[in-house]
Amino acid sequence: MYNSIALNDVKVMSSREIAELTGKRHDNVKRLMTELANQEVISYPQIEGGNKSANGVTEKLFMVNQRDSYVVVVRAQVSLCRG
């Protein structure tokens, strides 16, 4: 589930993985992550390129550390369950 970055051996999770884990839409999870970062609840996520779609657009993934991923998962379950 967690990808390990070899440089610092820091465990990170992508917004796509969080969306799949929580059953929420990826765009809603990214929006939630941005809101939490603006409120200084989590660190600003690192943005990385994901898979390329058939029309050539590369998906943007937000990467967060292990602590922040726990916060996002819980908040996604609570705040996004209404929509």
Question: Residue 58: which H helix or E strand, with range?
Answer: strand 58-65
State both tokens at 68: 């922040």
| Domain hosting residue 37, numbered range | 3-79
- d(CA 28, CA 31) in angstroms, rounded, equals 5
List pLDDT tens digits, range 31-77: 999 999 999 999 999 999 877 777 888 889 999 999 999 999 999 98
Domain total in the chain: 1
Q: What is the rounded (10 degree) CA torsion for 41, 46, 51, 53?
A: 80
pTM of the predicted model as reported, rounded to 2 decimal places: 0.79
Q: Does residue 24 have a pLDDT over 80?
A: yes
User: Which of 81, 82, 78 minimizes the C-alpha distance to 36?
Assistant: 78
